Homo-oligomer: A and B are copies of this chain.
Amino acid sequence: MKQLNIGLFGFGVVGEGIYQVLSQKPQLKSNIRKIVIKHPDKKRNAPSELFSVNMDDILEDDKIDVVIELIDDADAAFEIAKKALQKGKDVVSANKKMIAQHHVELIDLQRENNVSFLYEAAVCGSVPILRNLEEYYDNDLLNYVRGIVNGSTNYILTKMRSGTETYDVALKAAQENGFAESDPTLDVEGIDASYKLSIITLHAFGRLISSKDVLRKGITSLKPDDFQYAAEKGYIIKLIANSTISEDGRLIPTVLPTFVDKRETLALVNNEYNGVLIGSALADEQFLYGKGAGRFPTSSAVLSDISALRYNYKYELRKGFVNGFDGNLPVIRKFYIGFNTGTPFDSSIFTSIDELYRSREHEYITGEIELNKLRDSGILTDKNLSIIAFT
């Protein structure tokens, strides 16, 4: 077993957890030589000689062969990852934004420099989705990957499920319990889920998309009325990230609030958990489930990546690497659009209408909408509309 000499960027809860596990387990043969941090004055639970504020203390140290990058800033993280790969160091990262934005460049750097770049922790924490897509489904034809990939929004939606709590109250509960950031925008607008979906899509289908290609709606407009509708019909509302191959071979990437039948697999994913369904020609449907974020799940995923480096594991992306999206979504899906009675709304977006409902306070329409039309209409950003897909 190869000895690893590690340089660590970031010493937050995950970084400290990694440091503790590796220093308590000599059998892992992984030695942290240097930890680069931003704030030298904070008290740290590790010997002070390990710390530095100079990133070159890691990047220019030829004895360090592995860089673990656990910082928040996606731009700084990219500079670190890029330089480290160029210097011939393996890199482990948990920064989904950085990876989603620079996926091709990072994979090229990995290839050119014959090193490994691993990032299981960036997608669904401890749920080994990427490793399974890479290794296990590499010759089975996948039809879809869809699931709950963001713990903050799933926690909020679980709180709102009863139809009695508003979004604001549920968000506050999530923040108080450490399941949402003080600025929750990336999570609640579905942006974080789009980053993850673009990473998943490349590993699942060999198709390259930008997170901006994802047809996206967050959860901020959802109202108790929507949850009451769901409950009456036997549904649960989940924020579902979904890359599906349509009948004509087209990739349809979406992040949308979605009605999930309460007897379906994804309905069991509650609170801060994540769960992903993988649909394939041979294996039918597989489900991977676990904690998607937080100190221990993220540490677990990072440690698995470190362990994989010891036998020179690389993502091979055997399914190839083609531009996965031409911007065309000529697919019709069923939607629910709900709003306060009197809100201006042009129902001509619906190709066909199944239900119209209006009470003194609340209105909704269900029916079919073409996804191109949904995107181009601009209503996805209308804060007054609840837009929920049917499965």
- On whether A304 and B265 interact (CB within 8 A), knowing A283-B290, A284-B290, A289-B287, the answer reads no
Question: Interface stretch among A180-188, A294-302, A367-375?
Answer: A294-302
Question: Interface stretch among A126-134, A198-206, A241-249?
Answer: A126-134
Q: Would A285 and B290 count as touching, CB distance under 8 A?
A: yes
Q: How many copies, total?
A: 2
A interface size (C-beta, 8 A): 43
Q: Cβ of A286 < 8 Å from any Cβ of B?
A: yes
Q: Which of A328-379 contact B (CB under 8 A)?
A: none
Q: Would B135 and A304 count as touching, CB distance under 8 A?
A: yes
Q: Cβ of A39 < 8 Å from any Cβ of B?
A: no
What sequence of 0s and 1s flags, for each residue 249-286 of chain A, a beta carbon within 8 Å of any chain B beta carbon? 00000000000000001001000000100001111111
Distance in angstroms between the alpha carbons of A307 and B311 in the assembled complex: 18
Q: Cβ of A43 < 8 Å from any Cβ of B?
A: no
Q: Would A137 and B288 count as touching, CB distance under 8 A?
A: no
A259 CB to closest chain B CB (Å) equals 18
Q: Would B286 and A286 count as touching, CB distance under 8 A?
A: no
Residue of B286, B296, B299 touching A289 (CB-CB under 8 A): B286
What sequence of 0s and 1s flags, for each residue 104-142 of chain A, a beta carbon within 8 Å of any chain B beta carbon? 000000000000000000000111100110011111100
Looking across the interface, which residue of chain B has its beta carbon closest to that of A132?
A: B128
A212 CB to closest chain B CB (Å) equals 31
Q: Would A282 and B307 count as touching, CB distance under 8 A?
A: no
Distance in angstroms between the alpha carbons of A132 and B130 in the assembled complex: 12
Distance in angstroms between the alpha carbons of A205 and B291 in the assembled complex: 22
A148 CB to closest chain B CB (Å) equals 13
Distance in angstroms between the alpha carbons of A308 and B313 in the assembled complex: 13
Distance in angstroms between the alpha carbons of A34 and B235 in the assembled complex: 52
Q: Would B303 and A139 count as touching, CB distance under 8 A?
A: yes
Q: Would B283 and A297 count as touching, CB distance under 8 A?
A: yes
Q: Cβ of A25 < 8 Å from any Cβ of B?
A: yes
Distance in angstroms between the alpha carbons of A265 and B291 in the assembled complex: 13
Q: Would B286 and A288 count as touching, CB distance under 8 A?
A: yes
Q: Would B307 and A283 count as touching, CB distance under 8 A?
A: no
Set of chain B residues within 8 Å of A37, measured between Cβ atoms: none
Q: Would A138 and B304 count as touching, CB distance under 8 A?
A: yes
A38 CB to closest chain B CB (Å) equals 26
Set of chain B residues within 8 Å of A126, measured between Cβ atoms: 282-284, 286
Q: Cβ of A28 < 8 Å from any Cβ of B?
A: yes
Looking across the interface, which residue of chain B has its beta carbon closest to that of A125?
A: B283
Residue among A136, A280, A284 having the largest count of chain B Cβ atoms under 10 Å: A136
Distance in angstroms between the alpha carbons of A139 and B309 in the assembled complex: 13
Set of chain B residues within 8 Å of A284, measured between Cβ atoms: 126, 290-291, 296-297
Set of chain B residues within 8 Å of A308, measured between Cβ atoms: 135
Distance in angstroms between the alpha carbons of A131 and B275 in the assembled complex: 19
Set of chain B residues within 8 Å of A316, measured between Cβ atoms: 311
Distance in angstroms between the alpha carbons of A268 and B267 in the assembled complex: 10
Q: Would A303 and B128 count as touching, CB distance under 8 A?
A: no
Q: Chain A interface (Cβ within 8 Å of chain B)?
A: 17, 21, 25, 28, 125-128, 131-132, 135-140, 265, 268, 275, 280-291, 296-297, 299-301, 303-304, 306-308, 311, 316
- Given A138-B307, A286-B288, 4 other A-B residues pairs in contact with their CB atoms under 8 A: A25-B139, A128-B132, A282-B297, A289-B289
Pick 5 A–B contacts, CB within 8 A, sort by A.
A128-B136, A128-B286, A139-B303, A284-B296, A285-B291
